[in-house]
Each structure stands twice: as structure tokens, then as C-alpha cells.
Amino acid sequence: MLKALVRAPTHPRLPAKMLTTALESAHLSLGARMVPFAGWSMPVQYRGILDEAKTVREHAGLFDLGHMGRVKVYGPQAEAFLNRLQTNDAAAIKPGRIRYALLLDDDGLTQDDILLYRNPADSSDANGFFVVINAGNAKRDLERMNAIAKDFDVTVEDCTQSLGMIAIQGPKSQDITQQICSGDLASLGYYAWMNTEVCGVPMTLSRTGYTGEDGFEAYVPSGHEPKVWDAFLKAGEAHGLTAIGLGARDTLRHEAGMPLYGHEINETTNPLEANLSWAVKMNHDFVGKEALERVTAAGGTGRKLVGLITHSKRCPREGYPIASNGKTIGAVCSGSISPTLSKSGTPTNIATAYVETEFAAIGTELQFVVRDKAEPCIVTALPFYKRAR
Amino acid sequence: MRPDDLKFQKSHEWCRVEGETATIGISDYAVSHLNDLVFLDLPAVGATVTIGESFGEIESVKAVSSLYSPVTGEVIESNEELGDNLEWLSEEPFGKAWMVKVKISAAGPDLMDVAAYDSHCKAEG
């Protein structure tokens, strides 16, 4: 047992090359369990995943996201460069707005999913962009950006080390953040960002997140992360704010139907079968576009990403086969107990899986196979959880 | 303090050998690192377990982990109440949270005593 722990020694024996964020000692003093994640030492949990997930759904949680890749893109051809690089339409993003997008390879398969920010109008470089990429793909993404950048008058600047990243998520996020933020948060829309100050430190702050709750992500100039982290915790004390680890973050994003690279999407999936067509705009010439046109012309790939729900005692886990009447027709991408949906008293487990298209309709009764035993599950609409607005 | 009459595996199962019978469970270290336990799958009486092979599974919110047998033999008792009382694993990991009793036909070669296991846990953090 404890395979993951045996594979992943905790803090005192981290390999020498392990990267740490500026908040490492803050995590240790909060009693976090640190684990290697994409080359970084990161807090997987502080108190327990169920407790932490509940805190974010009911109050608010604070996340160190220092491991995520952060890249500035600027110069006369920044927009043209980005429209070659990724699937969404950079030209359609208004100043201060943000879009979700994908990086594809020539075969239309997914290399990463990203957030693409166009600088707010009051920025010193109002024509510049900002890109947030996954830690596990950062090296590959940057190599690809630099290769494509050779054909454009553009600068790609890796800011992962010069900017920290702290997120606050949960219904109390705005109340808490407004106490320490000079900007008017009520006027900041979803998937928008602004230049502001948080506890006197100039930074950018976006209304984004990866939990299905309202919240913000702050891009903190290097060196100020501990001060900003502490200011959030202090401002949030009366609102039930606590630090939240990557374990609960994964559960929360899964409930909210958000894909995680390496699970719902990876180098073998294309955006069409992953229900991400909305992030692909065919009006520009991005890498992988022709391959997607071929897939569409061929009538798709024959499989589709679906949500599954089960009240079985067993939980579908990554890699488990999905079957219909004894025949394997798919496999699980992510599976978890759903703390939020289980609240009503009925234990509820959720999963995402790729299944053959004919089995993808909502309400289709399928089985997941755990140790040669078939357990019932049912195709259900994504997301599993949607907050009341 | 872990009882000193137990032997341990690196993978955090414990084993108490009395005559031909081995009682098997998982350690307090394993329980504290798994936390948020939700499901336990144990073999039925009469099943055969084999050294180093999985005899069951324990599931937490995040992951399912295999339980590896420290001995080879036949299951003569299975703690059927434990699955509905997973909190016992936190309360008494070496007591009422035992998992199976096995009639030993071959014992494992390299089990640790409690002192060696304490150091092993410390090294893992």
C-alpha cells in the first residue's frame, strides 16, 4: 500500500533538484504534507481533503500555485504569434479579459491547456499578453513558444521565477480580498483581470480559478509572496479561510467538470472529443487546425469524454475499464469521491471517462470494472457541481 | 508507541505471529497518511494470500491502495466489521482494526522489528 508515498519521499529528503515556491516555509509551519509535483515541492494537504474541499465550497480557501508556469508575451506581433500558437482567437480578447485555450501538435492532439490574458488597458504594455501554463508541461511549452516565436517579432519571457501565484477560492473570496485589495473587486468580471495593489504590493489580480467557486488569482512580484499570503490568511480568519492543498484542489476541479492535463486531456486526445470545441476558434491558422478539420470531416474519433456518477461503494479510478453488458467500451480518466454531492447523505462517486460515442448519451447505464467486478454507473451531464450564482 | 511484538513491512502492513497464525493489519503511519478512508475490501475466509501480493484494497478520498501480504497461507478469519467501522483504523490500528488472520504456510523473509520500522517511518517523513 501507500504506493504514492513510497514513490514520493516527503520534505526532508526531497531530491536536490526539487523546486520550492517562496511559500515553502509557510506551508511547513501550517503542518502541510509536501509532495513532489511536476518537479516542485508542493502542499498536497494541510488537514485532510474532505475538510479542505468543504472549506472552499462553504467559506474560502487559499492556494499556493507558485508551480504553475507564467509567461509574458509582448511585441508588435504578439497577437499573430499567439494565434499561431494556440486554439482560441487572441484577436477577439478585449483588454483586461482572459480566455481558456489549448496548445495542439500537428496531429491536433493536446500538448497543454492554458489561460490567455490580454493586458488591462492601463498596463504599461497594453498590447501585451500573459499566459499561464501547467507546471508539468512548462518546459515543453516554452520550447514550443520559443520555436514559433522565431517567425514573429515577439518576445516570450518566462516569469515563473519572478512572479508568485496565490489563489483564493470560495464564496467568501470577494469579501476577504476586498479588505486588502485597493481595486474595486465588485466591478471585476469573471475571466477578467486588473492592475491593483494587495496589502500595498502592486500586482495583477484575475477573477479566475480551478474549483468551480468564485475567486481570484493574484500574480505577486517575487519576494512579496509570504507577506501577501499572510495578509490573505489574516483578512480571512473571521470568514473561515484556510490554506488548501493540491489534493482538495483536484477534487474540487473534478466536481466542477474542469479537465486536468494528464487525465481528461493529454497527448492522445483532441479538443473535439474532450468537449472543448468552445475553446477552439477555426478563424485563424493555429498549429493542429488542419488535423482537427480532418477529424471533423471524418465524423469524429468515435469516442467522447463523459461524466459518470455512481452510488456504488466502490469509486471508479483512473484507468478502470468502462463496460456495457460485459464489453469494454471506455476507460476512466479521473475518479473521486465527491464530497459536495455526498453531502445529502448518499455516498456519491464521480468519474470522467472516454467512451465509445454510442454510449455517451446522458442517462446511459454503464459499468465500471474494479478488480474484475462490474459496478453500476450512469452517464451524467458535466459539470457534476455548479455553484448557485 | 507501536507494540513490540509486531513485525512490519516497508509498505506499512503489520503482522503478529502466534504459533501458525499471523494477524495482519496496517500501521498508524499508513492510516495517518491515507486519511479520509472510505472503503475496505478484504478477502473471504478460505482465500489464499501470498507473500508480497495484494490481499485486499483500502480506499481513501484520493486513491485506492493495495494491501500486501507479509505471509503466504489461508485466510481463517476476516474482520468483517471493520469495513463499516473504518474509524477503528485511526483509533486502534494495532488492536480492533486488525484485518485478516492467516494460517501460515510460508513466512516473509525480511520483516522489520518495531525499532527498524520506527526508523523507516522517520526516514519517509
Query: 10-residue block means of pLDDT along chain A (389 residues)?
Result: 42 66 97 94 94 97 98 98 98 97 98 98 94 97 98 98 97 98 98 98 98 98 98 98 97 97 97 97 98 96 97 93 97 95 86 98 97 94 92
C-alpha distance from B65 to closest chain A C-alpha (Å): 5
Q: Which superfamily does CATH assign the domain made up of A302-380 to?
A: Aminomethyltransferase beta-barrel domains (2.40.30.110)
- A267 Rama sector, left if φ>0, alpha if ψ -120 to 50, beta otherwise: alpha
Three-state SS letters, A203-232: EEEECCCCCCCCEEEEEEECCCHHHHHHHH
- Please tell me the class of the A3-66+161-255 domain: alpha beta
Tell me whether 0.85 is exceeded by the ipTM.
no
The Cα–Cα gap between A377 and A132 comes to 35
pLDDT value for A4:
41
Q: Which of A321, A379, A374, A328 is nearest to A350 (CA)?
A: A379
Alpha-helical segments (H) within B37-103: 88-91
B26, closest residue in chain A (CA to CA): A1
Alpha-helical segments (H) within B3-94: 28-34, 88-91
Q: What DSSP string describes A164-208?
A: EEEEEESTTHHHHHHHHBSS-GGG--TTBEEEEEETTEEEEEES-
Q: Does A247 lie at the interface with B, CB-CB under 8 angstroms?
A: yes
Q: For chain B, list the domains and their CATH numbers.
A: 10-124 (2.40.50.100)
Q: Which of A186, A180, A282, A196 is nearest to A236 (CA)?
A: A180
The count of CB pairs under 8 A between chains A and B is: 66
pLDDT value for A11:
42
Contacts of A310 (CB under 8 A, 6+ apart): A316, A348, A349, A350, A351, A368, A375, A376, A377, A378
pLDDT value for A7:
35
Query: Is A92 in contact with A100 (CB distance < 8 Å)?
Result: no
Domain A69-158 fold: Alpha-Beta Plaits (3.30.70)
Q: Tell me the torsion sign for CA atoms B98, B99, B103, B107.
A: negative
pLDDT value for B75:
97
Say if strands A201-206 and A242-243 run parallel, antiparallel, or are unpaired.
Answer: unpaired
Per-residue pLDDT reduced to its tens digit, B33-78: 887 898 999 999 999 999 999 999 999 887 889 999 999 999 999 9
pLDDT value for A131:
98
Cβ–Cβ below 8 Å for B65 and A336: no
The Cα–Cα gap between A24 and A44 comes to 12
Say if strands A61-64 and A242-243 run parallel, antiparallel, or are unpaired.
Answer: parallel
Q: Which of B10, B60, B52 is nearest to B31 (CA)?
A: B60
Query: Is A229 in contact with A62 (CB distance < 8 Å)?
Result: yes
Cβ–Cβ below 8 Å for A315 and B57: no
Residues of B in contact with A336 (CB under 8 A): 61-62
SS3 A333: strand
C-alpha distance from A244 to closest chain B C-alpha (Å): 15
Rounded to two decimals, what is the model's pTM? 0.89
Torsions phi, psi of A9, nearest 5?
A: -60, 145
Of B41, B65, B125, the CB nearest to A1: B65
Structural domain boundaries of chain A?
Answer: 3-66+161-255, 69-158, 302-380
Residues of A in contact with B59 (CB under 8 A): 314-315
- Cα dihedral angle (B90, B91, B96, B97), rounded to 10 degrees? 0
